[in-house]
């Protein structure tokens, strides 16, 4: 009994607490959703007013946030348009003056060479971080942006003395300067001032670029329009897959097309390089000749029937249909098995071809092949030729025989 009497107050306290909690829970349950929302809004309003009052005491408010949106002037706002164009021109001129000129680049090379760090390994001059910083102080304000620690770290490889190649660093600087120069040059043709070029903008850029490319000196002026068209289509085919009619300047700089185009500034460009360069005069003339040969009715456009004669006339109907679905046309201007029957060859099993293609590509999803799968596999050209051209398919199917014949021919030459 004594134990029971001692424990009774504790039990009464626990019971009272339990009852209170049940009462609170019951009271909360009786509140409607609207009441809960009202309570939340009251609390929010209370704290927001207190916060705003504190901001006002410090003379701060939302009005202190700087303006970040400016609408483009309308077509009839001539004065605003002119003001915008002039301000952009001044901005681009200022950016251009910030770039290293030829004299400053030569001075940078001289300083780097003067501060190279021994010992000399091979023929490549090297520089350590201490001398790197010393060149930074002597090279001038324009150069300081290139002498960051992270740039040195990126160029640091396996040198046992912790040095980087002077030539690699200088090439990095040259590349950055070239990119900024080209960015500014392209921006001059950006009529909208929004960081992209429309088709007409890019046409104007390339047309005015032609006289500065010695490798195009032989082109007749009457051929300029076709050349510009083929060059621009190369950019838009790859850089505007959604057919928006515009390309980001950033994307133009990131791809290699502009490098190929500006390679034509080299007066001593080899014949092999010209043949492999899409923008060279021989390449443009070759495309033009093929186009004229296909255009049987001489109306300046290719119909589906005319395009089907391309090469050896073995393009599949499915491929041609897809081309005309995707590309701009005017008035209407497994397929491999059909082509094989048409040319008297024994058709192959679709399942066999499908299995071979999947084995080549090794896609992430075993049930489909994406564009990224093709790119990653490095087999995109082979797969495309198998699916769209009978000759490409035949070459792939008989690759072992062809290799064996080549080896036999080589052996005969060796014997002779």
DSSP string, 323-359: HHHHS--STT--HHHHHHHHTT-PPPPHHHHHHHHHH
- Segments of 161-271 assigned E as strands: 164-165, 196-198, 246-248
Report the predicted TM-score, pTM, of the whole model to 2 decimal places: 0.61
Q: Rounded to an integer, what distance in angstroms lies between the CA atom of residue 223 and that of residue 289?
A: 12
Across 40-49, 107-116, 362-371, least confident range = 40-49
pLDDT digits (tens, 9 = 90+) for 322-372: 777 766 554 554 474 455 455 555 556 667 677 778 888 888 888 888 888
Where, residue-wise, is CATH 1.10.238.220 in the chain?
Answer: 190-292
Domain 85-182 has CATH 1.10.238: yes
pLDDT at 109: 95
Beta bridge partners of residue 196, listed in sequence order? 248
- Judged by DSSP in three states, 318 sits in helix
pLDDT digits (tens, 9 = 90+) for 48-86: 666 666 555 555 566 677 777 778 888 888 898 888 888
Where, residue-wise, is CATH 1.10.238.10 in the chain?
Answer: 334-399
Structural contact between residues 110 and 139, judged by C-beta atoms closer than 8 angstroms: no
Structural contact between residues 205 and 264, judged by C-beta atoms closer than 8 angstroms: no
Q: Rounded to an integer, what distance in angstroms lies between the CA atom of residue 162 and that of residue 157?
A: 8
C-alpha dihedral (89, 91, 95, 101), degrees to nearest 10: 40
| Domain covering 190-292, topology | Recoverin; domain 1 (1.10.238)
Q: How many residues does the chain have?
A: 416
CATH architecture of 334-399: Orthogonal Bundle (1.10)
Record the tokens describing residue 150, joined without a space. Answer: 């992270």
Record the tokens describing residue 48, joined without a space. Answer: 């927001």
């Amino acid at each position: 009994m004594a134990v029971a009497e001692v424990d009774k107050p504790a039990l009464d306290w626990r019971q009272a607490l339990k009852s209170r909690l049940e009462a609170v829970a019951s009271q909360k349950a009786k509140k409607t959703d609207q009441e809960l929302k009202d309570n939340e809004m009251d609390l929010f309003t209370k704290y927001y007013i207190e916060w705003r009052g504190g901001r006002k005491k410090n003379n701060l408010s939302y009005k202190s946030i700087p303006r970040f949106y400016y609408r483009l002037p309308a077509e009839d706002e001539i004065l605003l348009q002119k003001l915008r164009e002039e301000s952009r021109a001044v901005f681009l001129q200022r950016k251009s003056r910030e770039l290293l000129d030829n004299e400053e680049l030569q001075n940078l090379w001289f300083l780097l060479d003067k501060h190279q760090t021994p010992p000399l390994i091979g023929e490549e001059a090297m520089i350590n971080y201490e001398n790197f910083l010393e060149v930074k102080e002597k090279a001038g304000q324009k150069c300081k942006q290139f002498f960051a620690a992270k740039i040195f770290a990126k160029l640091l490889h396996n040198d046992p003395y912790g040095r980087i190649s002077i030539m690699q660093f200088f090439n990095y600087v040259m590349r950055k300067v070239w990119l900024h120069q080209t960015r500014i040059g392209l921006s001059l043709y950006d009529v909208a001032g929004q960081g992209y070029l429309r088709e007409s903008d890019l046409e104007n850029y390339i047309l005015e670029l032609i006289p500065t490319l010695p490798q195009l000196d032989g082109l007749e002026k009457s051929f300029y329009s076709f050349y510009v068209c083929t060059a621009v289509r190369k950019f838009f085919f790859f850089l505007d897959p959604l057919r928006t009619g515009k390309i980001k300047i950033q994307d133009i700089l990131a791809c290699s097309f502009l490098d190929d185009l500006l390679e034509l500034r080299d007066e001593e460009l080899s014949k092999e390089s010209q043949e492999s360069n899409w923008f060279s005069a021989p390449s443009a003339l070759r495309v033009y000749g093929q186009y004229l040969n296909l255009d049987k009715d001489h109306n300046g456009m290719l119909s589906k029937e005319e395009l089907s004669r391309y090469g050896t006339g073995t393009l599949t109907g499915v491929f041609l249909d897809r081309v005309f679905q995707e590309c701009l046309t005017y008035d209407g201007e497994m397929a491999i098995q059909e082509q094989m029957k048409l040319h008297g060859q024994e058709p192959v099993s679709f399942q066999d071809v499908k299995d071979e293609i999947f084995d080549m590509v090794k896609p992430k999803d075993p049930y489909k092949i994406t564009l990224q799968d093709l790119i990653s596999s490095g087999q995109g050209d082979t797969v495309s030729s198998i699916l769209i051209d009978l000759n490409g398919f035949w070459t792939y199917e008989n690759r072992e025989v062809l290799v064996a014949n080549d080896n036999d021919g080589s052996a005969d030459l060796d014997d002779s």
